[in-house]
Amino acid sequence: MGFALSDMQLRSTAFGAHQPIPARHTGEGEDVSPALEWSGAPGGTRSYAVICHDPDAPLIVPGAYGFVHWVYYNIPAEVTRLAEGNSDHTNGVTDFGKQAYGGPMPPEGHGVHHYYFWILALDQALDLEPGLTLWQFLERAEPHVIGMNRLIGTYER
């Protein structure tokens, strides 16, 4: 299937689709990841990954696209929800340079940014090492993506 939207659904109790992300989940607040839950994974799902990305961010590195706020993987197939601030699984490296969720923090006066929280269903439990960048993770995971969808939240400073 690769990177095409599927029937999976991703929701959060913290914000709705295209709604503002509460300050608690941003760099101006407690910077804690929001609770997420998903349903409708395709048969054959063996693991999940979650990515949060801001395509509206100014490019900071030539060849980059937006800003990566979270790369979270090695989530077992039986898990269909993450509690707020979840740290039970494996973190990759964000564009903040840390291995943890980094909430929205767009430049002041830059307007509304859109934060894409992606859920990826994989046909294998890849057991990847911590600290992968988004691009390293996608290079290894893309051949195994069998379903995906996203929840878009907004934030403005």
Number of domains in the chain: 1
Residue 98 lies in a domain: yes
Residue 4 lies in a domain: no
Residue 106 lies in a domain: yes
CA distance 144 to 98: 26
For 126-143, the three-class secondary structure string (H helix, E strand, C coil) is CCCCCCCCHHHHHHHHHH
Name the residue range of residue 33's domain.
9-156
| Per-residue pLDDT reduced to its tens digit, 76-87 | 999 999 999 999
**Separation of first and last alpha carbons in the chain:** 37
Asked if residue 1 has pLDDT above 70, the reply is no
Helix (H, G, I), strand (E, B) or coil at 23: helix
Residue 92 lies in a domain: yes
| Per-residue pLDDT reduced to its tens digit, 47-59 | 999 999 999 988 7
Residue 55 lies in a domain: yes
For residue 62, the model assigns a pLDDT of 64
| Per-residue pLDDT reduced to its tens digit, 97-147 | 999 999 999 999 999 999 999 999 999 999 999 999 999 999 999 999 999
Burial of 27 (0-12, 13-18, 19+ CB in 10 A): middle
Residue 41 lies in a domain: yes
Helix (H, G, I), strand (E, B) or coil at 154: strand
Residue 91 lies in a domain: yes
Residue 1 lies in a domain: no
**CATH, residue 147:** 3.90.280.10
